[in-house]
Amino acid sequence: MTAQKGSIQVNTENIFPIIKKFLYSDHEIFLRELISNATDATTKLQHFSSIGEFNGEMGDLRILVKIDQKNKTLSIIDRGVGMTAEEIDKYINQIAFSGAEEFVKQYKKAGEAGMIGHFGLGFYSAFMVAKKVEIDTLSFREGAKPARWSCDGSTEFVIDKSKRKERGTEIILHIDDENQEFLEEGRISGLLQKYCRFLPVPIQFGTRTEWVDDPENKEEDGSPKKKSIQVDRIINDVAPLWKKSPSELKDEDYKEFYRTLYPMSETPLFWIHLNVDYPFNLTGILYFPQVKNELELQRNKIQLYSNQVFVTDDVKDVVPEFLMLLHGVIDSPDIPLNVSRSFLQSDAQVKKITSHITKKVADKLEEIFKNDRKEYEEKWSSVGLFVKYGAVSDEKFADKALKFALLKDAEGKFHTLEEYKAKVEANQKNKDNKVVFLYTTNAKTQAPFIETAKKRGYDVLEMDGPLDSHFIGFLEHKDSDLSIVRVDADAMDKLIDKGEKRESVLSDTQVEALKKTFTDQVTQKDWEIQTEALSPDDHFITVIKPEWERRMREMQGGAGMFGMLPDRVVVMINTNHPLAGKIAGLKEEAEKKEFVEQSFDLALLSQNMLDGAALERFIRRTESMMK
């Protein structure tokens, strides 16, 4: 053939500098694009063979990656369909650049364009790291002649004849001075592991040492000695676990694959194998990891693939926020990775995939809960954080979560919302006919209040997790006949107000005098002093932080509009407590003051609000009174 010279027909001048700067934010992506193209060429040949359009010898279909340090080149070689000179002109010079001007117009608006197949520019990512690119190729079609294309990064190209004898394509990158790192074996090996470790075609890069028996040399015991040989290094698993049928796999297979993905992690709790082919294609495995009782969102734990090509570990536009707690792999060719992220978020297909993943996760949790509740309860310390996060952040998941979300009482027993409500509603209904759940955020420091509740026959829940303030709000939102209050949020008679009125054993004059005595002693002037005729079994003094205000502060971490407000505290005096009558009967002001201070400090101590100099005074005063 006669050498063909030409110019890529684009109106935009200096297109290559623009590609070099804006095609991807990270230049390393070029290797993924070129190997993906080689993979496509190989799988196309397999397809043509399966339908009878290619009847030749398939041979070894591996993709070879080579570094030539002397000539400063990086080559990607496949034995796929190859191209004719006419196909090079069509697919490289014409179609690939048909989207070039569109890309130039859009790159500023779209940011990084994801997989550039949308613009037909995947091959041209090579020019981000190379000063010259060559294509040496021979088509699989009978009678085809080999051809060679070269371009030095300008819009000028040359297509000439080639001496190539083997079917397939070799892409040769002459690496420029700024990107010499891509001639380092370690760098390329790392990129192949990152982007290509699960591609469906074997990828060879260099060799590795293997020790085998040497039958010609024997040990003293007659066994063969070992000798080292160099074997081709295949860097990928062509049939990853998520592409296999779940019926073929055992638990150990899933655990071993998890160890491959996350070598230093503990064994996962359980997993979900995704396998959908309609109305979209989606495969993958999502694992429930063992998590601590704290919110640890590790956003790089779910890997997104497209036809086994690694794309990203930033999956927040595909996976709901609460599912970020999961680990694993998602693979879908139907996620439009070649458009801007803002479009991805609104894409109808992506929304369907997101909904499906959410449903599968909810179904799996419900299945485990129903089939082995004991195991589910044992794993609740890890699973609970995930379920609560999903319930408060995703409405569709929340509707299902009530079936398998558990509440743990102070005795360590677990209940669903429905079960627990049935357990306590007979004794824990207030005057407004609402069932009241009492809870503790710290069973040790709030022990006196828990014990007082138990004396009344009340049950107490443990709600000490990082998301429980939000989860409580979720439960109340789902059930308008429910009220949830902390066990120390009020005097016990007021926590579950059944509308019963008690008469005070003190006269009105004595009550007012008692209130004034306390008012004079409380130095925090914004604290409210209240008196109430409560049960004699209730505490004498209760320091109260109103439930709603405290909960809002906890949910906002003490910030926001509630962080601007004073921390309102109510000091509730039980006028029916024996100490109320004792203080009222004291004649000596000094003695009365000492009793008031001691009672008040005891209340502060029960709320973990006594420290520093005040705590020291309390200890000294207690010692003195004991004498």
Among all chains, which residue has been given the structure tokens 């001075």?
177
Q: pLDDT confidence of 511, banded at 50, 70, 90?
A: confident
78 and 41 Cβ atoms separated by less than 8 Å: yes
Q: Is residue 449 part of a domain?
A: yes
Mean pLDDT for 416-436 is 93
Q: Which of 146, 179, 204 is the last residue of a domain?
A: 204
In a domain, 234, yes or no: no
Distance CA 471, CA 474 (A): 5
Do 245 and 193 reside in the same domain of the chain? no
Q: Are residues 14 and 127 part of one domain?
A: yes
Between 100 and 451, residue with greater pLDDT: 451
Domain for residue 230, yes or no? Answer: no
Residue 162 token pair: 């080639």
Per-residue pLDDT band for 239 (boundaries 50, 70, 90) equals very high
Can you tell me the mean pLDDT for 381-392? 89
The pTM (predicted TM-score) of the whole model is: 0.76
**Which of 334, 364, 394 is the last residue before a domain boundary?**
364
Q: How confident is the model at residue 112 (pLDDT cuts 50, 70, 90)?
A: very low
Residue 618 lies in a domain: yes
Nearest residue to 147 (alpha-carbon basis) of 131, 156, 134:
134
Of 471 and 492, the structure prediction assigns the larger pLDDT to 471
Residues 324 and 434 in one domain: no
Helix ranges (DSSP H) in 433-564:
447-455, 468-478, 492-495, 508-521, 547-555, 560-563
Mean pLDDT of 7-16: 53
% of the chain at pLDDT higher than 90: 40
CATH of the domain at 524: 1.20.120.790
Same domain? For 84 and 156 the reply is yes
Average pLDDT on 594-599 reads 84
Name the one residue in this structure whose structure tokens are 């996620």: 335
Confidence of residue 8 (pLDDT cuts 50, 70, 90): low
96 and 148 inside one domain: yes
Least confident of 264-268, 293-297, 305-309, 578-582: 293-297
Residue 574 is predicted with a pLDDT of 86
pLDDT for 249 equals 95
For the domain that residue 291 is a member of, what is the CATH number? 3.30.230.80
Residues 158 and 14 both lie in one domain: yes
Contact indicator for 517, 592 with CB cutoff of 8 Å: yes
Span 177-195, pLDDT tens digits = 999 999 999 999 999 999 9
Extract the tokens encoding 256.
């071993």
Q: Are residues 9 and 107 in the same domain?
A: yes
Q: Are residues 525 and 429 in the same domain?
A: no
Same domain flag for 136 and 18: yes
Measure the CA–CA gap between 557 and 545, rounded to whole angstroms. Answer: 16
Residues in the chain: 627
Average pLDDT over residues 521-550: 77
Flag whether 121 is in a domain: yes
pLDDT digits (tens, 9 = 90+) for 325-366: 889 999 988 876 554 344 455 567 778 888 888 899 999 999
Residue that is written with structure tokens 């002459």 in the block: 174
Give ∠ CA 106-107-108 in degrees, rounded to 5.
95
CATH number for the domain spanning 412: value is: 3.40.50.11260
Domain membership flag for residue 360? yes
- CATH number, domain of 40, equals 3.30.565.10
Q: Which domain holds residue 468?
A: 405-495
Decide: residue 361, CB within 10 A, 0-12 exposed, 13-18 middle, 19+ buried.
buried
Residues 126, 173 within the same domain = yes
Banded model confidence at residue 371, pLDDT cuts 50, 70, 90: very high
The helix (run of H) or strand (run of E) holding residue 268 is none
Dist CA 202 CA 78 (whole Å): 10
Domain count, the chain: 4
Confirm whether 184 is domain-assigned.
yes
**Residue 274: inside a domain, yes or no?**
yes
Q: Band the pLDDT of 22: cuts 50, 70, 90.
A: low
What's the mean pLDDT in 437-458? 90
Pair of tokens at residue 435 = 């069932």
Are residues 597 and 573 part of one domain? yes
Residue range 232-241: mean pLDDT, rounded: 93
Is the same domain home to 200 and 300?
no
